[in-house]
A and B are shown apart, each in its own frame.
Chain A
Amino acid sequence: DQQVKQNSPSLSVQEGRISILNCDYTNSMFDYFLWYKKYPAEGPTFLISISSIKDKNEDGRFTVFLNKSAKHLSLHIVPSQPGDSAVYFCAASPTGAQKLVFGQGTRLTINP
């Protein structure tokens, strides 16, 4: 039972353009969402988060959008840079639970 789904295993974007990574969830108890970035042979690093009381959160080139009615969130990276090439995981939890459920990950490749 995959409660958090990233349906695109990979995404290729040209440098300077916008990258959009998508994530869907099924558990209506989830109200806190995070994106992590992972390079090969390293641990994931936290990128950005959003709670269900918001529908948008920005941090520099990164913006996360949350559509609660559709149970969908997306991560926008603009402009995309070569260093953004990595695997991106979305994760979700009920507030206070700190038991994150992760999606399968999307491998983003930024082409020069």
Chain B
Amino acid sequence: DGGITQSPKYLFRKEGQNVTLSCEQNLNHDAMYWYRQDPGQGLRLIYYSQIVNDFQKGDIAEGYSVSREKKESFPLTVTSAQKNPTAFYLCASTNWPPDNSPLHFGNGTRLTVT
């Protein structure tokens, strides 16, 4: 079955540590996205990538970094510079160029930083 796999489902880190969230897709989609969900704020775009070795900042990129070395993979690193890292992180993918196909989402990673 095609889909998006995010791992781990739950992640706990100490403040000051960097942490990398995994996202893998086997849908053969060119574009991949990272969103963050906080209570009462909907989903906010962190980074997105339309092709391998290229990515763009979203609306809340500060304190995050990404890489896109393979079409299937788009890992997100939450750095110690991110002031409020505790959140639910969602990875998504879709076709590129855009054809109004909906985004497909993974099941998310809940990150807790204490």
Count of A-B contacts with CB under 8 A? Answer: 61
Q: Contact partner of A43 among B41, B42, B107, CB < 8 A?
A: B107
Classify the interface of chain A: helix, strand, loop or mixed.
loop
Q: Which residues of A contact B105 (CB under 8 A)?
A: 36, 43-45
Q: Are B40 and A97 in contact (CB under 8 A)?
A: no
Q: Which residues of B contact A95 (CB under 8 A)?
A: 98, 100
Give A11 Cβ to nearest chain B Cβ, in Å: 15
Q: Are A44 and B107 in contact (CB under 8 A)?
A: no
Q: How large is the interface on B (under 10, 10 to 19, 20 to 34, 35 or more residues)?
A: 20 to 34
Residues facing B in A77-99 (CB within 8 A) are: 89, 91, 95-99
Known: A32-B100, A51-B100, A96-B97. A41 touches B108 (CB 8 A): yes
Please, which residue of chain B has its CB at the minimum distance from the CB of A51?
A: B100
Q: Which residues of B contact A101 (CB under 8 A)?
A: 45
Known: A98-B31, A103-B42, A105-B42. A42 touches B97 (CB 8 A): no
Inter-chain CA distance A34–B103, complex, in Å, is: 10
**At the interface, yes or no: B96 with Cβ under 8 Å from chain A?**
yes
Q: Are A89 and B108 in contact (CB under 8 A)?
A: no
Tell me which of B4, B58, B104 has the highest count of chain A C-beta atoms within 10 A of its own C-beta: B104
Q: Which residues of B contact A63 (CB under 8 A)?
A: none
**At the interface, yes or no: B71 with Cβ under 8 Å from chain A?**
no
Known: A89-B42, A104-B42. A43 touches B106 (CB 8 A): yes
Q: Are B103 and A100 in contact (CB under 8 A)?
A: yes
Known: A41-B110, A44-B90. A98 touches B98 (CB 8 A): yes
Chain A contacts to B: CB under 8 angstroms: 4, 6, 9, 32, 34, 36, 41-46, 49, 51, 89, 91, 95-105
Q: Give 14 pairs: A residue, B residue, CB < 8 Å, sorted on A.
A: A9-B40, A32-B100, A34-B102, A41-B107, A41-B108, A43-B6, A43-B92, A96-B100, A98-B103, A99-B48, A100-B103, A101-B45, A102-B42, A105-B40
New contact pairs (12) apart from A36-B105, A102-B35, CB-CB < 8 Å: A34-B102, A41-B107, A43-B4, A43-B105, A44-B43, A45-B105, A46-B102, A98-B31, A99-B48, A101-B45, A102-B43, A104-B40
